[in-house]
Amino acid sequence: MAPLPLAVIVYEPGDVLEEILAAARDRLVGLPDVRIAGLVPRLGPRHSNGRASFWLDDIVRGDSIALSQDLGPGSTSCILNADGLATARMRLAEAIAVRPDLVLFGRFAKEEIAGRGIREEIGLALAQDVPALVAVERAMLPGWIAFAAEGWTMLPADADAVVAWFVALAAERQSADT
């Protein structure tokens, strides 16, 4: 059985995941005749409680979605912006519908492990045979495995590894089509 067109960047706390994904995005969109879509996470200015804001940059539209919200100084509550998450899910579904060569999903984390977040969109991409790239922190890997089971490719937190995986996948899919 052929592996799923799904790769997971497994990263550690302290890895510069946002920079790695941005570098991979930049290299992938520069490839000839390749259509990349999806969302790339980015840290932004600090909220009043000192935590970094969290953004998702839309590869196709070129704008950003606020995934966090400022709850005020001293707040320790979850800063996830539900409207931002809903927008991200809608954008990912739109990206999958146009059947790009690859969709970047950002992170699979606590929301997804709890059965929410972007789980459905990852499943939709796979059901429609649209290649997908997801980032999972090593501590969240058991939750990912419970969700995705087997057949995906594990990648290190490295832009070169992402590009090499995609180029090999694209070549394999092209030879299967001919």
Task: For residue range 85-132, list pLDDT tens digits in order.
Answer: 999 999 999 999 999 999 999 999 999 999 999 999 999 999 999 999
Mark out the alpha helices in the chain (DSSP H runs).
Answer: 17-29, 82-97, 110-113, 119-127, 141-148, 159-177
The strand pair at 52-58 and 36-46 is best described as antiparallel
- CA dihedral over 6, 113, 36, 8, signed as positive or negative: negative
For residues 129 and 123, what is the distance between their CA atoms, to the nearest angstrom? 10
Looking at residue 3, what is its pLDDT? 65
Looking at residue 89, what is its pLDDT? 97
Determine how many CB atoms are found less than 10 A away from the CB of residue 36.
24
Please choose, from the candidates 62, 13, 18, the residue with its C-alpha nearest in 3D space to the C-alpha of residue 36. Answer: 62
- The CATH number that domain 6-40+82-177 falls under is 3.40.50
Share of the chain above pLDDT 90, in %: 83
Q: Give the three-class secondary structure for 170.
A: helix
Tell me: pLDDT of 1 over 50: no
What does the pLDDT average to over 65-93? 91
Mean pLDDT of the chain: 93
Q: What is the dihedral of CA 23, 25, 29, 34, to 10 degrees?
A: 130
Q: Are 173 and 49 in contact (CB under 8 A)?
A: no
The DSSP 8-state label assigned to residue 115 in this structure reads T
Q: Are 147 and 113 in contact (CB under 8 A)?
A: yes
For residues 143 and 7, what is the distance between their CA atoms, to the nearest angstrom? 16
Task: For residue range 153-169, list pLDDT tens digits in order.
Answer: 999 999 999 999 999 99
For residues 178 and 176, what is the distance between their CA atoms, to the nearest angstrom? 6
pTM of the model: 0.93
Looking at residue 76, what is its pLDDT? 83
Tell me: pLDDT of 141 over 80: yes
Looking at residue 87, what is its pLDDT? 97
